[in-house]
Every structure is written in C-alpha cells, then in structure tokens.
Amino acid sequence: MFGLGKKKDFTATIVNTGQTFEVKGGINLLQAALNAGIEWPHDCRVGSCGSCRTTIKSGKIKPLNDFSYVLDGDQLKSGMVLACQSRLQSDIEVEVDFGQDAIN
Ligand code: FES
C-alpha cells in the first residue's frame, strides 16, 4: 500500500514572531523547534512541567499524552497544547509566549 507507515513532514509557523520551521515526520513539535535553533521555552520534555505550552491557531496535532494533567480547562478550550507532547497532522500556526515561566 502507498504511504502506510511513512510519516509526513509539515511546517510550523510561530505567528507572533513570524518564524517557520520544518517538523519532520515522527518528531514532536518542541524537538523540531529546538532542532531549528528556536529558543522555545521548555524544561522536562516529558509533558509534566507545562513550560513548552503553545496555543494552536490553525492546523491539527496529535497529542502523545493527556494534556489535562498540566493544562486547565480554559487553557485546553483556548487551543493550548504541550509542544513536547504534540506531533503534527497538518501544517500548523501557533502562538508561543517566549517570556513565560513554567506553570509549576
Ligand atoms: S517541556 Fe515540560 S511539558 Fe513540555
């Protein structure tokens, strides 16, 4: 079959800085940003600190973990996700607060 098992590459755009970077199939959004030299806020990389949080403005991601352990209901409703626990399912546009501290 065509394409089965092949992971696609997508493009992510940080709308508040205008930066774009490629997200290779199979790697998470945070890792792709760091690979591209972007100083994306992060700490634990395993979905527990919340410092990599970002708001999806358009596009689709696949969560690798349950975000509700770290993000509250309002944040989830506003489209907030954890970049270290997100794989892309389309090109996306996100907003990142580069001045934020970890939630915990
Ligand atoms: S880096 Fe800690 S939740 Fe993503």
- Could you tell me if residue 89 is inside a domain? yes
Q: CA triplet 32, 79, 76: central angle to 5 degrees? A: 110
**14, part of any domain:** yes
Nearest atom within ligand 1 for CA of residue 43: 1
- How far apart CA 37 and CA 77 sit, in angstroms, is 29
> How long, in residues, is the chain?
104
SS3 category, 7: coil
d(CA 37, CA 23): 13
Structural domains of the chain, count:
1
Q: What is the pLDDT of residue 84?
A: 98
Q: Is 79 a domain residue?
A: yes
**75 CB-near residues (< 8 Å, 6+ apart):** 53
Distance CA 53, CA 56 (A): 10
Supply the range of the domain harboring residue 72: 10-95
pLDDT, tens digit only, all 104 positions of the chain = 555 667 899 999 999 999 999 999 889 999 999 999 999 999 999 999 999 999 999 999 999 999 999 999 999 999 999 999 999 999 999 999 998 654 44
**Which of 31, 49, 64 has the most ligand 1 atoms within 8 A of CB, as the residue to mutate?**
49
pTM: 0.90
Question: Does the CB atom of residue 48 touch ligand 1 within 6 A?
Answer: yes
CATH code of 20's domain: 3.10.20.30
Residue 101, pLDDT score? 53
Residue 28 lies in a domain: yes
Identify whether 3 is part of a domain: no
**88 within some domain:** yes
